[in-house]
Amino acid sequence: MDQMKYPVLTEKTIRLLEKNQYSFDVSIDSNKTEIKKWIELFFNVKVVNVNSHRLPKKKKKIGTIAGYTIRYKRMIIKLQSGYSIPLFSNK
């Protein structure tokens, strides 16, 4: 799945883990239904709901060249109780 970029681990998302909610950055052109199907298929879990929002653009300047950071869409996925997603490997 090329559209799923990486899990997001911040203070807020770590608090959401207690409520069985996981945050992922995905590509800007993906939608909720395909992310839900992919999460259920790949991790073998039941997804209750999916919330999404677009992160704001941030200006970035390197020397005299000005541009913007790469934009992603953030998905917050709530799982059914009793299910979990391993974010870290046991190695």
Q: Do the domain assignments include residue 87? A: no
What is the value of pTM for the model shown?
A: 0.81
Is 89 among the domain residues? no
42-70 pLDDT, tens per residue? 889 999 999 999 988 889 998 899 998 88
Q: How many domains does the chain have?
A: 1
Assigned domain for 62 exists: yes
Q: Count CB neighbours of 60 within 10 A.
A: 11
- Per DSSP, 10 falls in state S
CATH number for the domain spanning 22: value is 3.30.70.330
What is the rounded average pLDDT for all residues in the chain?
Answer: 88
Domain span at 64:
4-79
How many CA within 13 A on the CB side of residue 87?
12
Is residue 43 in a domain?
A: yes
Q: Is residue 85 part of a domain?
A: no
